[in-house]
């Protein structure tokens, strides 16, 4: 089956009549090749075409302004040259770095990445999946953190099963996601609990004994894993969790939670652990707005090591997560048949926002 389509640019007819869309037939005729040969060159067929013909067809297609029809290609191949990436919030640099890694891999393979924003809403995510099925992407990457329980943010199993049924590969960050018929999505694992535990141990070793934790809604997997891990490490180091405040992963949520804590009273020498750097940056803004000092007065640490973490003053203590590499591995999990995940090491980075505390 050939995939014929209008290009973005219409060409006038030879007799000066109304413009018409450039088709695959036009390219084949101008290049002096068969329609089948033109289709193999321009629609990504695995069948070999002689270099001379391939170069001629591509040159003519460029001259005429021909653009292959992705929908027609999807019909011919069973899927389109598209990778669909679902994130919770594209403004969050956590997802931006993952997206950059996915885009790096797609560029290597000549594929296109589309990004959809779920806002961690199950119904919204399911609607997006239904729309994506019609576009037949080659793979789907679920990067947004999911929640436990009835109201989790994982799309309905029927939607994922329908997506996988036509051959689209599903890759998810975190635990394996069921696809029906005993199948599960390939998963990208980040040791959130382990990284947070090491951070908690380091903060205890620096002399901190009281911590206020700012997390997301209870049940959100990434947040819960980081809180649990940090609590284990911090208590092993001799500290105690005074309060756990809940919000979401936005900067505004960190600022609001910290403002509430300050209104209730925060002793000098207290440590604040935020489950992401973005939340931590919000907490820092609230501390400063209250006339308190970040570091020697109220220490702050986060998680992820997004670029802004090293740019603020004082620079933010955090856990470095190789998010770009994680995104790249997620892409490889889509396209590689024999894929296995390479380790993604997490590293505690101590900076000036936690200078240490003496009782």
**pLDDT at residue 72 in the model:** 53
CA distances from 198 to 221, 232, 236, 350 (A): 18, 9, 10, 11
pTM of the model: 0.77
Other beta carbons within 10 Å of 91? 12
User: Which tokens hold the place of 326?
Assistant: 């994680």
Average pLDDT, the chain: 85
Cβ pair 91, 278 in contact under 8 A: no
Q: pLDDT for 182-204, tens place per residue?
A: 678 889 999 999 999 999 999 99
- Nearest CA to 194 among 73, 305, 344, 326? 344
Q: pLDDT for 272-285, tens place per residue?
A: 999 999 999 999 99
- Nearest CA to 190 among 232, 143, 152? 143
Compute mean pLDDT per 10 residues along the chain, 359 residues long, and list them. 40 48 83 83 68 85 74 54 90 93 94 90 84 84 68 58 80 79 83 97 97 94 95 96 95 97 97 98 98 97 96 97 96 92 92 90
**pLDDT at residue 162 in the model:** 79
Q: Which residue has the tokens 């208590």?
A: 235
**pLDDT at residue 185 in the model:** 85
To the question of domain 192-321+345-349 being in CATH 3.40.50.2300, the answer is: yes
CA distances from 358 to 79, 95, 351 (A): 61, 37, 17
Query: Which ranges in the chain are annotated with CATH 3.40.50.2300?
Result: 80-188, 192-321+345-349
Q: pLDDT for 23-51, tens place per residue?
A: 878 888 898 888 888 877 776 555 677 88
**pLDDT at residue 351 in the model:** 98
**pLDDT at residue 12 in the model:** 46
Query: Which ranges in the chain are annotated with CATH 1.10.260.40?
Result: 10-74
What is the DSSP annotation of 282-315? HHHHHHHHTTPPBTTTBEEE-SB--GGGGTSSSP
Give the CATH architecture of domain 10-74: Orthogonal Bundle (1.10)
- Regarding the domain with residue range 80-188, which homologous superfamily does it belong to in the CATH classification? Response regulator (3.40.50.2300)
């Amino acid at each position: 089956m050939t995939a014929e389509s209008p290009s973005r640019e219409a060409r006038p007819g030879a007799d000066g009549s109304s413009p018409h869309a450039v088709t695959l037939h036009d390219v084949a005729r101008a290049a002096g090749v068969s329609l089948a040969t033109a289709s193999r060159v321009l629609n990504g067929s695995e069948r070999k075409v002689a270099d001379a013909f391939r170069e001629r067809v591509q040159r003519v297609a460029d001259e005429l302004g021909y653009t292959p029809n992705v929908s027609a290609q999807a019909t011919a191949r069973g899927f389109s040259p598209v990778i669909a990436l679902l994130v919770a919030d594209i403004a969050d640099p956590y997802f931006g770095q993952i997206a950059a890694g996915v885009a790096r891999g797609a560029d290597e393979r000549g594929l296109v990445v589309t990004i959809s924003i779920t806002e961690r809403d199950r119904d919204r995510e399911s609607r997006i999946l239904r729309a994506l099925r019609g576009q037949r992407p080659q793979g789907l990457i679920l990067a947004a953190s999911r929640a436990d329980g009835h109201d989790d943010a994982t799309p309905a199993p029927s939607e994922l099963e329908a997506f996988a049924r036509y051959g689209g590969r599903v890759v998810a960050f975190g635990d394996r996601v069921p696809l029906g018929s005993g199948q599960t999505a390939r998963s990208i694992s980040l040791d959130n609990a382990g990284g947070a535990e090491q951070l908690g141990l380091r903060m205890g070793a620096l002399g901190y004994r009281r911590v206020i934790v700012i997390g997301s809604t209870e049940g959100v997997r990434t947040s819960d894993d980081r809180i649990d891990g940090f609590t284990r490490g911090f208590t092993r180091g001799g500290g105690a969790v005074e309060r756990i405040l809940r919000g979401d992963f936005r900067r505004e949520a960190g600022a609001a939670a910290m403002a509430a804590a300050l209104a209730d009273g925060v002793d000098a020498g207290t440590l604040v652990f935020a489950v992401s750097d973005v939340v931590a940056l919000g907490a820092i803004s609230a501390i400063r707005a209250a006339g308190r000092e970040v570091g020697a007065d109220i220490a702050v640490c986060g998680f992820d090591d997004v670029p802004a973490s090293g740019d603020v003053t004082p620079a933010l203590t955090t856990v470095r997560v190789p998010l770009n590499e994680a995104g790249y591995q997620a892409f490889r999990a889509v396209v590689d048949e024999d894929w296995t995940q390479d380790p993604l090491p997490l590293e505690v980075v101590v900076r000036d926002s936690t200078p240490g505390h003496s009782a």
